[in-house]
């Protein structure tokens, strides 16, 4: 798997196959790419084709023209189309695969052809990190400032006087320190919090991390981080190794006042164990942007628990969501053809993120 952009030869345009869904066919960000009106996009280097179904790509997937590379952009369409392209005669010409979302497990886990193909895969990592970092702080504030209790008093027309907590001086433990974790740490540090971060390789310490992380630990120190955190933020991808990593034992190690905040993937939490702890008041609360099953089934305990804040996987669904992810793709397209571009977010297909 290439660790750097392929940089295809000049004079031979890359056929860019965009896999999208019907409601996005006329979206402004995509229209600028297809019409060549995005000044940042290297239009001359790409022959853009857009489809929602595999049969919409007949010429592209049945003809394997020598010297014509192919790139795949998953733009929130049917992942099966991606697999279909990589089972077609043009598979050998695919030199780059890009996901419009940061998470890629929905593609890798359902389309083995994508995982097995030698072409590098990139994603939109970083496009939504700021919004997720803001949400982690919002959820922390929700519980610290007793917003739920005050809203209830307001609705009841009852004056309420009570003490409230502060974020300053509290510890935020961030489990899964990648781009999202860094965004959480930056905002937590701005509030005067102590930040403990966990990642697979604690020695991967970027210069900006030294300003915002007080202690970087390996994932093997999970229990310690859970014990110390007033707010435990999960920013983990879903892999076989992380599934239900936050189990009954991990939840039991949290402070009685501790708050669990999940901006990563719902499947990393043993939700039955979490529900038990919340019902019994063994932890202070949970702020959940994600759940193991989405949409969350009607009647699930999370809906009724007073110490749960749900945001229905909307924390990164900003009003400029598609603009942000297209901007990330354009920068990758520029890097792909050797025309500048900021970064190359290479996915580790084996690890799943």
Catalytic residue among 105, 313, 323, 327: 313
Catalytic residue among 55, 92, 210, 294: 294
What beta strand segments (E) does the chain contain? Answer: 14-20, 46-51, 70-75, 94-99, 121-122, 171-175, 194-199, 215-218, 231-234, 259-262, 285-288, 308-310
Burial code (b: 16+ CB inside 10 Å, e: under 16) for 4-38 equals ebbebeeeebbbbbbbbeeebbebebbebbbeeeb
Catalytic residue among 194, 265, 332, 334: 265
**Paired tokens of 93:** 């010409």
Owner of token pair 């857009």 = 50
Nearest-Å Rg of the Cα atoms of the chain is 22
265 is catalytic: yes
269 closest CA partner among 304, 315, 302 = 302
200 is catalytic: no
Residue 229 and residue 174 in contact, taking contact as beta carbons nearer than 8 Å: no
- DSSP code of residue 301: H
**Paired tokens of 78:** 């049917």
313 is catalytic: yes
As annotated, the active-site residues are 265, 294, 313
């Amino acid at each position: 798997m290439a660790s750097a952009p392929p940089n295809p030869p000049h004079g031979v345009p890359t056929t860019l196959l965009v896999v999208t869904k019907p409601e996005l066919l006329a979206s402004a960000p995509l229209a600028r790419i297809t019409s060549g009106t995005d000044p940042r996009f290297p239009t001359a280097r790409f022959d853009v084709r857009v489809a929602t179904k595999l049969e919409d790509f007949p010429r592209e997937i049945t003809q394997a023209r020598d010297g014509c590379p192919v790139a795949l952009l998953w733009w929130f369409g049917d992942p099966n189309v991606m697999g279909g392209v990589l089972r077609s005669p043009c598979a050998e010409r695919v030199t780059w695969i890009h996901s419009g979302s940061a998470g890629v497990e929905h593609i890798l886990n359902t389309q083995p052809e994508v995982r097995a193909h030698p072409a590098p895969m990139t994603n939109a990592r970083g496009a939504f990190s700021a919004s997720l970092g803001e949400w982690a702080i919002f959820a922390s504030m929700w519980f610290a400032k007793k917003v739920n209790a005050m809203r209830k008093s307001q609705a009841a027309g009852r004056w309420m006087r009570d003490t409230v907590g502060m974020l300053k001086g509290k510890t935020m433990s961030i489990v899964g320190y990648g781009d999202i974790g860094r965004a959480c740490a930056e905002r937590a540090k701005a509030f005067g919090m102590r930040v403990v971060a966990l990642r697979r390789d604690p020695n991967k310490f970027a210069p900006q991390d030294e300003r915002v992380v007080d202690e970087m630990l390996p994932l093997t120190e999970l229990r310690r981080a859970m014990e110390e955190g007033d707010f435990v933020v999960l920013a983990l991808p879903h892999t076989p190794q992380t599934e239900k990593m936050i189990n009954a034992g991990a939840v039991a190690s949290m402070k009685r006042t501790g708050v669990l905040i999940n901006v990563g993937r719902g499947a990393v939490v043993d939700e039955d164990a979490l529900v038990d702890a919340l019902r019994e008041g063994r932890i202070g609360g949970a702020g959940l942007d994600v759940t193991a099953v989405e949409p969350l089934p009607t009647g699930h305990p999370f809906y009724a628990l007073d110490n749960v804040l749900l945001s229905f996987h909307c924390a990164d669904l900003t009003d400029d969501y598609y603009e942000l992810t297209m901007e990330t793709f354009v920068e990758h397209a520029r890097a792909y053809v050797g025309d500048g571009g900021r970064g190359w977010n290479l996915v580790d297909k084996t690890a799943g993120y």
